[in-house]
Amino acid sequence: MVSAGDIKKGVTIQWNNGVWVILDFQHVKPGKGAAFVRTKLKNVMNGSIREETFNPSEKFPKAHIETKEMQYLYNDGELYYFMDTESYEQIPLNFDEVEEAIKFLKENDVAVMRFFQGKAFEVQAPNFVELEIIHTEPGFKGDTSQGVYKPATVETGAVVQVPLFVEIGDKIKIDTRSGEYLSRV
């Protein structure tokens, strides 16, 4: 059990029929009245964020989140299949469960999957991936202005803003957390 007075950033608790991670907290001791804890919480299952205040003596069950590396196998049109590299167990997931990560994952890539009570709720692509450009407009000769970007589609279908000198067939490094182009490979 975690008491509201012991809450810190990153702690995961069970509260209000959900699993919540503490994004921010502040212990408030007003000059008049009882102390309280002001928090900003994020529901790990659906991503909703809310602000709540708690009495410092309130207690919550700690939510244990399991993290595993899983290999992305394939997509059959509806489901995306991931395999546990240790037990070889396969887990099918819907698009809404893999939406953020799948645009940067190729078949056989390894992703990090998070579980609560045996149910997968989040898939995270590696922080940096190298993907090939399959479509982009050609850059104009002589256009040497700095900081000019154009859209480019990579082999997984994601659209990334790239500098004008990047062409079809180039491999680029992408930061998956922000979706930004980093460099050519």
CATH number at 119 reads: 2.40.50.140
| Residues 138 and 168 occupy one common structural domain | yes
Identify the domain boundary among 15, 39, 60. 60
pLDDT of residue 144: 59
| Residues 96 and 72 occupy one common structural domain | yes
pLDDT of residue 110: 94
Tell me the C-alpha to C-alpha distance, in Å, between residue 116 and each of 7, 42, 120. Answer: 20, 15, 7
* pLDDT tens column, 36-55: 999 999 888 777 899 999 99
| Residues 37 and 15 occupy one common structural domain | yes
Identify the domain boundary among 60, 90, 110. 60
Range of the domain at 34: 2-60
Task: Give pLDDT < 70 ranges for the chain.
Answer: 140-146
pLDDT of residue 6: 84
CA distance 128 to 41: 27
pLDDT of residue 122: 83
| Residues 119 and 132 occupy one common structural domain | no
Burial class (CB in 10 A: 0-12, 13-18, 19+), 33: exposed
pLDDT of residue 140: 66
Q: How many domains does the chain have?
A: 3
Amino acid, single-letter form, for residue 126: P
Listing DSSP states for the chain in one string gives: -EEGGG--TT-EEEETTEEEEEEEEEEE--SSS--EEEEEEEETTT--EEEEEE-TT-EEPBP-EEEEEEEEEEE-SS-EEEEETTT--EEEE-HHHHHHHHTT--TT-EEEEEEETTEEEEEE--SEEEEEEEEEPPPPTT---TT-EEEEEETTS-EEEEETT--TT-EEEEETTTTEEEEE-
Q: Where residue 18 sits, what CATH number does that domain have?
A: 2.30.30.30
Full-prediction pTM beyond 0.85? no
